[in-house]
Amino acid sequence: MTLEDKPLGDNEQVAWEQQLLKGTVSANLPLSSWDDDEFRKCFTDIRPKLVVPSRRVMSSRILDLGAKNAREEMQKLVALSDGELLVSILLDYLIKYDFSSNR
């Protein structure tokens, strides 16, 4: 079985979806991109067994997990940071990962 014939395992799928979310947010792509057949074809042409998420899945399950992971990372930073460093980190993070603008 070649790589393109092999579906992703469960953990690989979740990691891939989270990377898709980060890329979507970073590139400021609308979530509706994930419902575009030509956009989806970019992935399935390379690896036909990929499960490419829809806009609905991206805006619910995947975004919710991304927000949960981001919240946990922020809580870790808060626990390790003093006040001044915390404000700087929070501002940088909010600028970089503004999840709310793509919902």
**Backbone phi, psi, residue 93, to 5°:** -65, -45
Whether the model pTM is above 0.85: no
Identify whether the C-beta of residue 83 lies closer than 8 Å to the C-beta of residue 6.
no
Q: 35: burial class by Cβ within 10 Å (0-12, 13-18, 19+)? A: middle
Q: 59: burial class by Cβ within 10 Å (0-12, 13-18, 19+)? A: middle
Q: What is the pLDDT of residues 57-100, one digit of tens each?
A: 999 999 999 999 988 888 777 776 666 676 777 777 777 766 55
The pLDDT value recorded for residue 96 is 72
The whole-angstrom distance between residue 9's C-alpha and the CA centroid of its chain comes to 17
Q: What is the pLDDT of residues 27-44, one digit of tens each?
A: 999 999 999 999 999 999
